[in-house]
Amino acid sequence: MKNTDDLSFDREHIWHPYSSVVHPPCIHEVVSADGVRLTLNDGRKIIDGMSSWWSAIHGYNHPRINQAAKAQIDQMSHVMFGGLTHPPAVDLARKLIDITAEPLQKVFFADSGSIAVEVAIKMAIQYWFAQGKQEKQRLLTVRNGYHGDTFGTMSVCDPDNGMHTFFNKVLPKQFFAPSPNCINDEDWSDDNIAEFREIISEHHHEIAAVVLEPIVQNAGGMRFYCPEYLRQVRALCDQYDVLLILDEIATNFGRTGRLFAYEHADICPDILCLGKSLTAGYMTLAATMCTQKVANGIAADGSGALMHGPTFMANPLACRVASESIALLLESDWQQNVKAIEQQFIDELMPYQSDKLVKDVRVMGAIGLVELHEPVDQYMDWLPTFIVEQGVWLRPFRNLIYITPPFIISSEDLTQLTTAVGTILKRLSL
């Protein structure tokens, strides 16, 4: 009875992401999780193909991360970061500086991915303000991007095809170039960067920073693009004295086959945003890193105080968990695991390209997706339950069915996920 009451109460009172309380979404109650499986309130176990929105790279209930969290709780779960510091924050900052590009030497700990990007935007604007160039307050990005749900980040999400069109009249007006369309460096054409170059050339005097998701655009359409585009953007930012912010909230810590997606292009941003799998899905934590140039530039007016300070900034429990997750990742054969996932996606998802419902199939690292011609929104009253009946958890959105599994997934479990995609296509075609 309690489980039934929980679901009823949830439907009546709890607001879920991107949903209406008038027409609440179809939901399932999870009571525990272990490895790659979620256990529902009726005892069924389903394979999580989402890594809880890209984050649970080691799966669930990992004994090493659990032990690190328990040990930290016994010491302190939280202490304010204003005027104080603590070993978990110092240890995590050291790790992040060690594994990212050498120029990235400063770490600001934030609450979430959206806030990490928000802080990056503040850094860029304060940098130019301190240089006496107050006119450089706008941002340049590309269409089909997604950077978060706060007001600053919403302003650099796609204004027409994004999730925030309701707010367009109150958001800061930014510059938008066309989305990158280059799939491989071998197909590179100067036309791919022409409009971007034109915008930055004409408006660089008022542009503080370029904001991009490197190599993979995520919630804005799950689009992949070639490394040469990033190289060209980096060169243009240098040429026109504009900062480069890379939003790696989703792509960081191995998801694309490299530890960080910017490594595909062998460049370094001025500001880097990290999140999601930073704590392996255990807790909310993000980080905004920047170069010494940016940090010193913000201080050029004699103050240097970055005007942001969350209450739970650098939470010791989250920092300890993040450090353990990074150590666990680096000690593992994660590159081979991701490569194996990628190859299995190629073998098992690519055949769906011939399905009449399918527009495209794309694979990169531990990301596999099937793009449909039509959105699945109209089926969401029954589709989530149908997916669970296949023994898996996937969450299609718009016209995309995608899989971002934990790196520890077995080939058998991954096959169950890719087979479920085919079953969904058959059901949708009825």
Active centre residues (catalytic): 18, 146, 247, 276
Q: Which two tokens stand for residue 353?
A: 């390209």
Cβ within 8 Å of residue 208, ≥6 positions away: 121, 124, 125, 127, 128, 136, 137, 138, 139, 242, 243
391 to each of 118, 247, 276, 322, 383, how far by Cα in Å?
A: 38, 33, 25, 30, 13
DSSP state of 103: T
Q: Are 42 and 3 in contact (CB under 8 A)?
A: yes
For helices 63-75 and 316-331, angle between their N-to-C axes, nearest 10 degrees? 150
From CA 250, how far away is CA 277, in angstroms rounded? 8
DSSP state of 364: E
Q: Are 313 and 109 in contact (CB under 8 A)?
A: yes
From CA 242, how far away is CA 236, in angstroms rounded? 8
From CA 399, how far away is CA 157, in angstroms rounded? 18
3-state secondary structure of 338: helix
Adjacent-strand bridge partners of 34: 37
Q: Which two tokens stand for residue 50?
A: 């989402």
